Amino acid sequence: MDAGDVQRVFDERCTAVLNLQTQMGLSQRQINPADISNMFYTRGITTYARYQVADSFRAEYADDLLSAAKLLHELVDVKKERVFVHDQTGVSRCTTLLIVYLALFIKHKSWRNIDELYALVEGEYQWQDANKEIAKYVIEQNKWFQEQQYQLLQNSTLQSEANRLRMIRLKEQEEETLRLERLKHSEAERLRREAIEEDRINRERQLRHKNEKDDLLARLKRLRSEANSVEDQLKNLHYEPDPYDEAEEQERLRREKEYLDEVERLKKAI
């Protein structure tokens, strides 16, 4: 591990490192883990985890892979880190660990099929040489753990779906409340405008009635004045009917009756 390797890890936007090298491997290469940790730290990668995975003995190897898979789960799924995993050569132990992790923690649709998981890892990293047999052994020995993780995933999925549906319902309720509020404001505005329009019509009607009444009163006053004038003229008129002008007398009486009838009509109208 040198500065170039650290730069490549940084370029991949990793936020954490999981080192699987054993103490013996570090000593053989004269590597100080603190120095490696400091190199990552200077690039902002502050999470540097170590778990020694020894592959010399099958039982020890299986136990170490299970523990390392749990640690990887903690980093990736709990702490949400983007993890760079490496071992002595980056060929066997780290890729075997990835297969175990993907299977035990149900991280791939083919979590029950070791061959497909192997092909998946190989497709991502062509130099890999994962130990398929030991991976299968670890998974077989920890079926109960795998089923437990599957149930947790199912429960989490159901809970997530329930939460999703709850959020949809809440959103629908909020939208309905907002719609009703808008409708309420719209109805209130409509009623307000109708009230304003009705008030305007009433005021116009009242003004029109007042003007009509004033016109009728003025007309009545004028007709009363004319009627009084006619009455005065009739009182002062000394007229002896001309037996030869009966038609003129009839016309005068008709006009007088029309004046009197008009006066009476206006009185009733008021």
Same domain, yes or no: 206 and 237: yes
Could you tell me the pTM of the whole model? 0.58
Same domain, yes or no: 137 and 31: yes
Within-domain flag for 148: no
pLDDT at 112: 87
Same domain, yes or no: 200 and 133: no
Has residue 82 got a pLDDT over 80? yes
Within-domain flag for 107: yes
Has residue 264 got a pLDDT over 60? yes
Report DSSP letters for the chain, one per residue: --HHHHHHHHHTT--EEEE---HHHHHHTT--HHHHHHHHHHTT--EEEE-----SSHHHHHHHHHHHHHHHHIIIIIS---EEEE-SSSSSHHHHHHHHHHHHTT-STTTT-HHHHHHHHHHH-TT----HHHHHHHHHHTHHHHHHHHHHHHHHHHHHHHHHHHHHHHHHHHHHHHHHHHHHHHHHHHHHHHHHHHHHHHHHHHHHHHHHHHHHHHHHHHHHHHHHHHHHHHHH------TT-HHHHHHHHHHHHHHHHHHHHHHHH-
Same domain, yes or no: 104 and 188: no
Same domain, yes or no: 177 and 254: yes
Name the range with the highest mean pLDDT among 87-91, 100-104, 175-179: 100-104
Same domain, yes or no: 8 and 133: yes
Domain hosting residue 54, numbered range: 3-141
Same domain, yes or no: 164 and 213: yes
Same domain, yes or no: 137 and 174: no
pLDDT at 221: 85
Name the range with the highest mean pLDDT among 68-77, 88-97, 177-186: 68-77
Instruction: Supply the angle between the helices 143-236 and 93-104 in degrees, to the nearest 10.
Output: 50
Within-domain flag for 149: no
Boundary of a domain, candidates 84, 110, 141:
141
Within-domain flag for 146: no
Within-domain flag for 73: yes
Q: What is the pLDDT of residues 18-65, one digit of tens each?
A: 999 888 888 887 888 888 889 889 888 999 999 999 988 999 999 999
Mean pLDDT, the chain, integer = 86
Half-sphere CA count of 74, side-chain side, radius 13 A:
11
- Return the percentage of the chain with pLDDT > 90, whole number: 38
Spatial distance between the Cα atoms of 266 and 261, rounded to a whole number of angstroms: 9
- Band (163; pLDDT cuts 50, 70, 90): confident
Same domain, yes or no: 182 and 220: yes
Has residue 230 got a pLDDT over 90? no
Has residue 238 got a pLDDT over 70? no
- Band (245; pLDDT cuts 50, 70, 90): low
CATH code for the domain in which residue 19 is found: 3.90.190.10
Q: What torsion, rounded to 10 degrees, do the Cα atoms 5, 7, 10, 14 define? A: 0
Same domain, yes or no: 136 and 165: no
- Band (68; pLDDT cuts 50, 70, 90): very high
Give me the number of domains the chain comprises: 2
- Band (117; pLDDT cuts 50, 70, 90): very high
Boundary of a domain, candidates 141, 171, 202:
141
pLDDT at 49: 93
Within-domain flag for 155: no
Has residue 235 got a pLDDT over 80? no
Boundary of a domain, candidates 84, 107, 141:
141
Same domain, yes or no: 8 and 129: yes
- Band (158; pLDDT cuts 50, 70, 90): confident
Within-domain flag for 176: yes
Same domain, yes or no: 165 and 203: yes
pLDDT at 98: 95
Within-domain flag for 102: yes
Has residue 79 got a pLDDT over 90? yes
Has residue 129 got a pLDDT over 90? no
